[in-house]
Chains A and B, each alone.
Chain A
Amino acid sequence: MKKTSWLRRLWGIRARRIVLRLVVLLLLVDVAFIFVMPILRLLSTSLMHVMDLYDPTVVWIPRRWAFENYSRAYAALEYALSFKNTALVAGVCAILQTISCAIVGYGFARFRFPGRERLFMLVLFAMIVPPHAIIIQLFILFADLHWLESYWPFIVPSAVGMGLRGALFVFIFRQFFKGMPWELEDAAMIDGAGPFRVFFNIMLPPARPAIVVVFLFSLVWHWNDVLEPSIYLSRTEKFFLPQRLSIVEAALANLQLRGMWGTGVIMASALLVILPLLVLYLFTQRYFVESIERTGLIG
C-alpha cells in the first residue's frame, strides 16, 4: 500500500498509466516478434545465394540476391500441379466438413431425443482417439475399397463430419447453435417451414462467424496435413504441397546438390507452400479475428 502511494506521488496517475501502456505495447511487440521473425528469416534465407549462407557477415539482407531459388523451388515442387491438387482437395474437404458438421452440431444443439447426451459423448470420445490407434485399420479399409491413390479417403470422411478433427467442428457448431435464441425458429415452424428449411434458411445465415472459423480451420488443417496423405498416396502426381516439400528436402539432403543450390531453395519451397494460406489470411484476417470472438467457442 505504501509503495503505490509513493509511486503515485512521484508520477501521478496519468503518467503511470502512460508508462503502463508503453510496457504493454513493448511486450506486444516482443511477442509479435516471436511469431513474425521465423517468417522473415524464412523469407530472407530463401533469397540468399549459397555464398551468402556461408558468409557470417550476411545476416538478414542477402548480398547476392538469388531469385532463381524461387524458380527452382517452383519447378521442384511442380507447383502448378501440386497446388491444384492441394487446393482442390483441401477446398472440397473444408466445404463438405463445414456443411456436415454444421448439420450435426445443429442436431445435437436443438432437438431433444432419447440418448442425446450419450451420443454426444461419442463426439467427445472421437476427439480423444489418437490417429495411432486407427491409422492401420483405415489403411486396410481404404485398401480394401481400392481407394488408395485416390482422394476419396479425404473426401468421404469429411462429407460425413468425421475426417480431420471433424468432432471438434461438431462441438464448435453445437456450442454456437446452443447459444442462439429460439424465437426465430419457433416463428418459422409456426409458419409451416420444415426442419431442414428452418436450418438452411433461418439458422445458417446468422451462423456465419462459426462457419468462417470452421471453414478456415478445416482448410488450413487439410492443407497442412502430412500424415494421412503420406499413407494413402504414393504416386507423386497425386501429392500435396507439404509432401512435395519433403521430397525437395530429401533431394537436397544430397550434399552435392545442396552445395550447388543451397538451403535457400528449401526455404523458398517452404514459403511457396504456405503462401496461398498467407494470402488468404491477409484478406480474411479481420473477419476471422472478429468471428472467433463471436462464436462463443466456450459457452
Chain B
Amino acid sequence: MHLSLRRRQALTGYMFIAFWILGFLVFLFIPLIRNGFLSLTDTKLATRQEQPGFVGLANYVEAFTIDIEFVPHLLDTLVNLVVDVPFILAFSLAVAMLAMQPVPGQTIFRAIFFLPVVIGSAVVVGRMFDMLGNQLVLFRGEGAQQFLYIYLGDRMPAFLSFLNRSIFVLWRSGVQILIFIAGLKSIDPALYEVAQVDGASTWGMFWKITLPMLSPVILVNIIYTIIDSFTDYFNSVLNYIRLVTFTLQLRLGYPSALGNIYFVLVFALVILVFVIVSRFVFYRGER
C-alpha cells in the first residue's frame, strides 16, 4: 500500500490522538449526554437499572421553584467568583512582578511563592484555615481585637472572616503567579530599553508595555481562575449535588439537572468572559 506523504501524515496524526478522543467520548462526552437524558427522569439511586420515568423539565422547575437551597448556593458561588477573580489576578500579577525583581534570594522567594501549588490540598489548606480561624489573621492578640471592636462594633466578625478569606484567596493564586512569571519572562526586554531611552517612567512602562504585552496571559489567567473556582472542592454547589445524590435524597435525576444547570452557567460565563476580554487582548505578532 502506498500513501501520499500528506495522507500518511494525517493518519499518523490520528494515531497519536485517537486514544484521547476515545477517552474524551467515554469519560466526558457520553456521560454529559446521558446526564442530559437522566435529568429529564425521576430516577433514584436504587432504581437506576429500571426503566426511568420521564418527567420532562420538572427537575429543572423544581431547582428554581421548590428547592430553597440550590439557588442560594448558586448565587454564593457566583458572588465569590466575582469578588475573587479580580483579587487573585491583581495579587498574582503583583507577586509575579515582585518575583522578577533582581534581589538577593530571588530563587528562595520564587520557591516559596509556588508552595501553594504544591500543597494545594483543599483538605489540608481548609484545615489550616478553618481550625485556626481568627488566630490566623494578623490581629491575633486580645488587645488588637478589642481595639478593632471599638471601631467595627458588630461588624468585627464579618471583618475578620473577610481577612481570613483574603488570605485564603491568596493561597489559591499559585498557578496564576507561575503563569504570570512565564508571561513576564517572554516580554522582549528591548521594548523597555527603547522606552527608557525615550524617557518613559516606570509607571508609564507598566501601562503601555507590560499590560498590553501581558494581555494574552491575563486572558489565560482569567479563564483558568474562573474554571478553578468553579470546580473547587469548597464549591458549595458541588457539595450540595453530592449531598442530594448520596446522602439526603438518593435521587439521580434531580442532581443531574442541577449539574446541567451549573454546566450551562459555567459554559456561558466562560464564553462571555472570553469574548469580552478578547477584545482587549493585544497580540504582538498580529498585523
Enumerate chain A interface residues (CB-CB to B < 8 A): 21, 24-25, 27-28, 31-32, 34-39, 41-42, 45, 56, 59, 100, 103-104, 106-108, 110-114, 116, 119, 122, 126-141, 157, 160-163, 166, 170, 195, 199, 216-217, 220-221, 223-224, 226-227, 230-231, 242, 245-246, 249, 263, 266-267, 270, 273-274, 277-278, 280-281, 285-286, 288-289, 292-293, 295-298
Knowing A111-B12, A221-B120, the reply to whether A104 touches B20 (Cβ < 8 A) is yes
B89-133 interface code vs A (CB 8 A; 1 in, 0 out):
000000100110101100101111111111111111101110110
Q: Check B212 for interface membership: any CB of A closer than 8 A.
A: no
Q: Check B16 for interface membership: any CB of A closer than 8 A.
A: yes
Establish whether residues A160 and B22, one from each chain, have CB atoms under 8 Å apart when the complex forms.
Answer: yes
Shortest CB distance A70–B (Å): 16
Please give the number of chain B residues whose Cβ is less than 8 angstroms from any Cβ of chain A in the complex.
93
Q: State the CA gap A27–B15 with chains docked (Å).
A: 51
Q: State the CA gap A42–B101 with chains docked (Å).
A: 30
Shortest CB distance B263–A (Å): 4
A137 contacts which of B32, B127, B178 (Cβ < 8 Å)? B32
| Chain B contacts for A113, CB-based, 8 A | 9-11, 13-14
| Chain B contacts for A224, CB-based, 8 A | 120-124
| Chain A contacts for B28, CB-based, 8 A | 126, 129, 134, 162
Q: Check B249 for interface membership: any CB of A closer than 8 A.
A: no
Q: Which of B58-66, B134-142, B152-160 contacts A (4 or more CB under 8 A)?
A: B134-142
Residue of B nearest to A221 (CB): B120
Residue of A nearest to B130 (CB): A249
Knowing A45-B132, A266-B127, A298-B220, the reply to whether A24 touches B98 (Cβ < 8 A) is yes
Interface pairs (16), CB distance under 8 Å: A28-B109, A31-B98, A38-B128, A42-B128, A45-B132, A103-B19, A111-B10, A112-B6, A112-B13, A127-B227, A133-B35, A140-B252, A163-B27, A226-B123, A281-B111, A298-B220
Establish whether residues B128 and A129, one from each chain, have CB atoms under 8 Å apart when the complex forms.
Answer: no
B121 contacts which of A127, A223, A288 (Cβ < 8 Å)? A223
B132 contacts which of A24, A38, A110 (Cβ < 8 Å)? A38
| Chain B contacts for A132, CB-based, 8 A | 237-238, 241, 258-259, 262-263
| Chain A contacts for B27, CB-based, 8 A | 134, 138, 141, 157, 160, 162-163
| Chain B contacts for A56, CB-based, 8 A | 142
Shortest CB distance A2–B (Å): 13
Establish whether residues B181 and A273, one from each chain, have CB atoms under 8 Å apart when the complex forms.
Answer: no
Establish whether residues B128 and A28, one from each chain, have CB atoms under 8 Å apart when the complex forms.
Answer: no
Q: Check B192 for interface membership: any CB of A closer than 8 A.
A: no
Q: State the CA gap A295–B178 with chains docked (Å).
A: 11
A293 contacts which of B17, B20, B182 (Cβ < 8 Å)? B182
| Chain A contacts for B140, CB-based, 8 A | 59
Establish whether residues B113 and A298, one from each chain, have CB atoms under 8 Å apart when the complex forms.
Answer: no
| Chain B contacts for A296, CB-based, 8 A | 182, 186
Shortest CB distance B146–A (Å): 13
Establish whether residues A41 and B136, one from each chain, have CB atoms under 8 Å apart when the complex forms.
Answer: yes
Knowing A42-B128, A249-B127, A292-B182, the reply to whether A278 touches B119 (Cβ < 8 A) is yes
Establish whether residues A25 and B103, one from each chain, have CB atoms under 8 Å apart when the complex forms.
Answer: yes
Residue of A nearest to B246 (CB): A231
Q: State the CA gap A31–B22 with chains docked (Å).
A: 44
Residue of A nearest to B135 (CB): A41
| Chain A contacts for B26, CB-based, 8 A | 141, 160
Establish whether residues A35 and B24, one from each chain, have CB atoms under 8 Å apart when the complex forms.
Answer: no
Residue of A nearest to B183 (CB): A298
| Chain B contacts for A246, CB-based, 8 A | 123
Besides A103-B16, A113-B9, 14 new A-B residue pairs in contact (Cβ under 8 A), listed by A number: A35-B116, A36-B115, A38-B132, A104-B20, A122-B21, A130-B266, A134-B35, A135-B241, A141-B26, A195-B12, A224-B123, A242-B124, A246-B123, A286-B107
Establish whether residues B123 and A245, one from each chain, have CB atoms under 8 Å apart when the complex forms.
Answer: yes
| Chain B contacts for A263, CB-based, 8 A | 131
Residue among A25, A28, A230 with most chain B CB within 10 A:
A28
Residue of B nearest to A246 (CB): B123
A297 contacts which of B10, B125, B179, B238 (Cβ < 8 Å)? B179
Establish whether residues A38 and B24, one from each chain, have CB atoms under 8 Å apart when the complex forms.
Answer: no
Q: Check B233 for interface membership: any CB of A closer than 8 A.
A: yes
| Chain B contacts for A199, CB-based, 8 A | 16
Establish whether residues B21 and A28, one from each chain, have CB atoms under 8 Å apart when the complex forms.
Answer: no
Shortest CB distance A46–B (Å): 11
Q: Check B210 for interface membership: any CB of A closer than 8 A.
A: no
